Amino acid sequence: MDIVAVLVTAFWAMLPAYVPNNAAVLTGGGPPIDGGRTWNGERILGDGKTWRGTGGGIAAGAILALLLNAVHPTLQDVLAVQLPAPFPPAVVLALPTGALLGDITASFLKRRTGRERGAAFPGLDQLDFVVMALVLTAVADWGWFTATFTPEVLATVLLITPLLHVSTNVIAYKLSLKSEPW
């Protein structure tokens, strides 16, 4: 695969895992998942992980995956690029669900390490959602996963995701959509 094909595959295949975190910020609020419960004096997850944000995020990512599947044949013709095979139904759910599960796991780890809601955890913040999205996708459909995420695509995903995460968060902060720029 040439470099353009690798970049296009990495971005296309990960979009349904990128959008859920954005959508959760926009749709979040209401009752927290942990119901306010604590463990060893600290919140289990905190007020930043809500049912509404999680549901909104998964819905946004799954809808986007279905939209990408719908435009797949046309775009492949028009752009003359090799896109990954359409997202199988299990992957349509695994990518966004994994992304938010990764983010929720990171909040659990942040609370266990004494970090308050909104505190940064460099490294974890940038890769939590992508690692869990990839793991869940591999479990959901191993054939699609290995055909799409070749070693070079996987390396590209792990390289571009932190850059995209940092830039999206700075833009969202400047637009007053997030209270911290990370």
Ligand X SMILES: Nc1ccn([C@@H]2O[C@H](COP(=O)(O)OP(=O)(O)OP(=O)(O)O)[C@@H](O)[C@H]2O)c(=O)n1
- Pick the piece of the chain touching ligand LHRYKFNC (CB under 6 A) from 30-38, 114-122, 143-151, 169-177: 169-177
Q: Give the binding range for ligand LHRYKFNC (CB under 6 A) out of 18-26, 28-36, 77-85, 151-159.
A: 18-26
Count H helices, E strands: the chain?
Answer: 6, 2
Residue of 110, 133, 137, 148 interacting with ligand X (CB under 6 A): 110
Footprint of ligand X on 78-107 (CB under 6 A): 100, 103-104, 107
Identity of residue 108: F
How far from each other are the two terminal CA atoms of the chain, in whole angstroms?
33
Start-end of H helices in the chain: 3-27, 51-79, 89-112, 124-140, 142-148, 151-174
70-89 positions binding ligand LHRYKFNC, by CB under 6 A: none
Alpha carbons within 13 angstroms on the beta-carbon side of residue 102 total: 27
**C-beta closer to ligand LHRYKFNC: residue 146 or 181:** 181
